[in-house]
Amino acid sequence: MTNETITAAASGTWKLADLTVNRIGFGAMRLTQTGAAFAPGATPSDRGRAVGVLRRAVELGVNHIDTAAFYFSSLRSANELINSALGGPYPDDLVITTKVGPARGPAGDWSRHAATPAELRAQVEENLRQLGRDHLDVVNLRILGTDSIAERFGALADLRDAGLIRHLGLSNIQPGHLAEARAIAPVVCVQNLYGIGMRPEHDEFLRTCGEQGVAFVPFYSIAAAGREGGATGTEAEEVLAVARAHDATPAQIRLAWTLHRGPHVLAIPGTGNPDHLAANVAAGALRLTADDLALLDALHRRGA
pLDDT tens digits, one per residue of 276-292: 999 999 999 999 999 99
Low-confidence spans in the chain with pLDDT less than 50: 226-230
Dihedral of the alpha carbons of 248, 250, 255, 256, in degrees to the nearest 10 = 50
User: Which residues lie below 8 Å from residue 248, measured CB to CB, with a gap of 6+?
Assistant: 1, 242, 256, 283, 286
Question: What is the reported pTM?
Answer: 0.94
Kind of pairing between the strands at 13-16 and 19-22:
antiparallel
The residues facing 165 across adjacent strands are 136
The amino acid sitting at 5 is T
Nearest of 296, 282, 250 to residue 60 by alpha carbon: 282
Which 8-state DSSP code applies to residue 9? G
Whole-Å CA distances, 19 to 63, 138, 223, 296: 10, 10, 28, 32
Backbone angles phi, psi at 167, to 5 degrees: -140, 160
pLDDT number for residue 77: 94
Contact status, residue 230 vs residue 197, Cβ threshold 8 Å: no
pLDDT number for residue 99: 96
Q: How far apart are CA 191 and CA 171, in angstroms?
A: 4
Kind of pairing between the strands at 64-66 and 26-27:
parallel
Contact status, residue 32 vs residue 44, Cβ threshold 8 Å: yes
Q: How far apart are CA 10 and CA 261, in angstroms?
A: 16
Contact status, residue 39 vs residue 298, Cβ threshold 8 Å: no
- The helix/strand/coil state of 121 is helix
- The helix/strand/coil state of 135 is coil
Nearest of 92, 91, 163, 96 to residue 131 by alpha carbon: 96
Kind of pairing between the strands at 95-100 and 136-142:
parallel
Annotated catalytic residue 90: no
Active-site residue (options: 71, 90, 194, 220) = 71
The residues facing 168 across adjacent strands are 139
pLDDT number for residue 247: 97
Nearest of 92, 62, 111, 303 to residue 201 by alpha carbon: 303
Rounded to a whole number of angstroms, the CA Rg of the chain reads 18
In tens, the pLDDT along 46-71 reads 999 999 999 999 999 999 999 999 99
